[in-house]
Chains A and B, each alone.
Chain A
Amino acid sequence: MLGRAMHERPNEPAKGAALGDFGANAAAGGAWAWKPSLEVPTFSTTASLDVHAWPVPWALAALRPPTLRLASAQWAVKLTAAISLPIVAPKLKVFSFRFPQPGDWLAKSLASSREQAGSPPAPSPSINAAPGAIPKAGRTRIKPPGDIVKLEDRLFYVLQPSLETLIGEGSLAFPFRPFAYQFEGVAFLYPRYAAILADEMGLGKTMQAITAVRLLLHAGELESVLLVCPKPLVTNWQREFTAWAPEVPLAVIEGDQAKRRWQWQQNDMPVKIANYELLQRDRELAVELGLKFDLVVLDEAQRIKNRGSATSLCVRALERRRSWALTGTPVENSPQDLVGIFEFLSPGYLSDAMKPRRMGRAAADYVLRRTKDRVLADLPPKMFRDAEVELTHQQRESYQLAEKEGVLRLTEMGESVSIQHVFELVLRLKQICNFDLASGESAKFERLAADLDEVAASGRKAIIFSQWVSTLETLAGRLAEFRPLLYHGRVPQQHRDGVLEQFRDNPRRQVMLLSYGAGGVGLNLQQAEYVFLFDRWWNPAVEDQAINRAHRIGAAGPVTVTRFLSTGTIEQRIDQILREKREIFDTIFSDVEPARNLGLTQQEIFGLFQLRCPSGPIDLAA
């Protein structure tokens, strides 16, 4: 009962009254009226009347002395565990690769060429000249082949610029822009340690090989290169190097042994050229001098198809890191030819036991083979015409007599007859097909002379191939009106370049007579629009080589190939064998399923004369 006076003391004013005057109405029992007053009211009453004051709570609170109470409580809080996480950057693993740089020869060579030109030092190679605008589709990138396993080696090739960029580089002069397929050929060779560039003749294997060598020299990947070629082609290679890699110093190994010894040791010549025969002579010298090469290139590599030959043994003995083979005819006679070349590239990789299709698949990554009809849409067409001629009366008589006597003699020899005896007869009959020795008549010549009249009248040029020097010389005499040039094995080496030059540059020297052996490889005779095969070689690859002296890049126009064939003679039978050999080649270098084994057998050779033969295979064109 906080609102009521809890006690009453007469001498003290009622606490409740001190807060105000409730007025008379209160005494009269009327309505309450309270007036606040500061004075302490006193109540006088005579009546015994309990007065109860009802103070409001806030008034009491105002009067009540403040009371302070202290309270303590235990505040026990468990501390939060703090986790510190250092932000430490992990050490990043980095794979680094630095590219080799070219040897001193390059700087010297460039400086030398500038001095000779008398020009001020050229600015450093600039990509100003680079074909930066080459569309991506037109860039030829180098891809590492599958047999390169080291990552560093693979990256070396992946990170090279496109060949078009390299070739557009200011420091690399080119006589003309290579064809797209030639870029591909260079890109094929560039990363390979074992490779066969087997393009058809006339597609520029020489240029592609030189360019690949050149780029590798500039990249510092090569320092010593040995190029081995047939002797007649040495000057051709020199000429091609001058055109396609003029800044690359090269040495031709020649002269007496003392000179050769000195030449072999020339370390400032990154490229050396030697011919096969010389290399055989210097075989022991190479061992004695400890010759090592970063790359050995074999031109006309079909020369080493026979694994047991001195040539093959000699080149295989060379110490080298890379091995390239250039040949338009990696298979001349049989798939074993390719095995022979691979013994130089990667010994044991191919074997004789492999079937052609399997061999083709195994060799696929190492061999690049293009034909003109696939890559040179713009190359003038090559037209064949088989000139089948009937022997003259005198020729026919001589031929039949020789054949009859020959076959009779072979038959009489019985079991002692050898392949050599058969060949002798074949050669004799073929010679009669060319010229009858008794009468001097020649149906082929008559046809040839008529054709040459037309050729000469048109102002065009022709090349004529035969396997015999004697035939060529006879032809030269009878074709004197055409002033024919002669190029065969008996023409001295020092005169040969002059002969070629005459044919190329002199418009009045329209006819050249060549032997398959000396003129069938490596020559560039694009000026000729007519090719005559006066007699046929033993295998089609050699014939192709000959034909492609004229039908190649830079050819003046369509090339017409005339293949003479005396009907009803040994030539027709040989022609049939040649066609079958071509099928062997196609089996290995295409996906065509071989119809049958087309290797030339001894039986077939003897079959030319319907002779029974001893057993066992032979290599006819070896």
Chain B
Amino acid sequence: MSSGDPTSQEALGFLTVLEHEQQGLVGGYLILNTAGRPLEFHCTAPVKPSRAQQILFGPTLDSYLYGEQIGQTLLAKGSIAPVAVCTDVQRVLSVRDYVSLPLALVLVGEDKPPAQETSAPPPTWRFDAPHHAGPDMHAFEIGRNRLAVAAHRDADRHEIVARLNGLAAFDLSEPFERIREAVEEAHKGPRG
């Protein structure tokens, strides 16, 4: 996201990364207004780490791919600065090290199956919906949504609660379904 852009009081960002069995990781970033209408959408070409990257980055590879390479790139593409960014992939939280926006992980409710099971995406896409905040996370709720931030980013929690407080009825997990469908559509390419 352009750092110079003023933060829009009308927009929310939704960032996710999908894993394709053959082609690698694909990131999607959807910016909605507070009515749920799409304002912008950005998605990456598939990213597949080389063998050298796998060896050299070691355990930091995920953080690098999800956060620095995909997440940061996508957020930088947005021309509208949302009040906050949500993700449904815990590894994406590492992008917070590169951006100034508050970032929260949307947890799937106990009574709600992962989107993978209900939206029937193609089997080549893998998506693991987070059910629980890990030990290094701080969980909280906004309306019917369960969210979490990294423990060392606890200030984000207060900021997000303040900014999203008026959106208690919004289902923050729903936009990720749209992103997954769009990524799938983009993956198929144009028709005809």
Seen from chain A, the residues whose Cβ lies within 8 Å of a Cβ on chain B are 85, 87, 89, 92-99, 124-134, 136, 144, 146, 148-151, 154-155, 158-162, 165-166, 169-171, 218-219
Contacts and interface: CB of A to CB of B under 8 A. Distances in A.
Given A126-B35, A169-B35, A96 B169 contact: no
A96 B182 CA distance: 12
Contact of B37 (A93, A97, A99, A126): A99
B43 A94 contact: yes
Nearest to B184: A158
A127 B190 contact: no
Interface stretch (B68-76, B93-101, B124-132, B153-161): B68-76
A219 B35 CA distance: 12
B162 interface: no
B190 A150 contact: yes
A563 B26 CA distance: 64
Interface residues of B, number: 50
A98 B11 CA distance: 13
Contacts of B182: 155, 158-159
Given A92-B47, A93-B44, A99-B39, A128 B166 contact: yes
Chain B at the A interface: SS class: mixed
B59 interface: no
Contacts of A144: 185
Contact of B118 (A98, A126, A136, A151): A136
Nearest to B47: A92
Given A98-B40, A132-B144, 14 more contacts: A92-B69, A93-B44, A95-B186, A98-B39, A127-B170, A130-B35, A130-B36, A130-B169, A136-B177, A159-B30, A159-B182, A162-B174, A165-B174, A166-B37
Contacts of A171: 35
Contacts of B7: none
B10 interface: yes
B63 interface: no
A158 B178 contact: yes
Contacts of B10: 124
A126 B34 contact: yes
A171 B35 CA distance: 9
Which 9 residue pairs are nearest across A and B when measured between Cβ atoms?
Answer: A149-B192, A93-B45, A132-B169, A125-B35, A161-B36, A132-B171, A149-B191, A127-B170, A159-B38
Contacts of B181: 158-159
A161 B176 CA distance: 11
Interface in B40-63: 40-45, 47, 52-53, 56
Contacts of A133: 144, 169, 171
Contact of A125 (B34, B168, B186): B34
Nearest to A85: B52
A144 B190 CA distance: 12
B116 interface: no
A98 B118 CA distance: 28
A132 B106 CA distance: 15
A243 to B, nearest CB: 22
B77 interface: yes
Nearest to B118: A136
20 contacts: A92-B44, A92-B70, A94-B42, A94-B43, A95-B45, A126-B166, A127-B167, A129-B169, A131-B169, A132-B174, A136-B177, A146-B191, A149-B190, A149-B191, A155-B182, A158-B185, A159-B41, A159-B178, A159-B179, A166-B37
A446 to B, nearest CB: 61
Contact of A127 (B9, B35, B178): B35
B122 interface: no
Contacts of A92: 44-45, 47, 69-70, 73
B23 to A, nearest CB: 13
A159 B192 CA distance: 21
Contacts of B171: 132-134
A155 B185 contact: yes
Contacts of B36: 127, 130, 161, 165-166, 169
B4 interface: no
A127 B34 contact: yes
B165 to A, nearest CB: 10
A134 B44 CA distance: 30
Contacts of B37: 99, 160-161, 166, 218-219
A222 to B, nearest CB: 15
Given A133-B144, A159-B182, A161-B36, A95 B69 contact: no
B169 A98 contact: no
A127 B70 CA distance: 29
Contacts of B40: 96-99
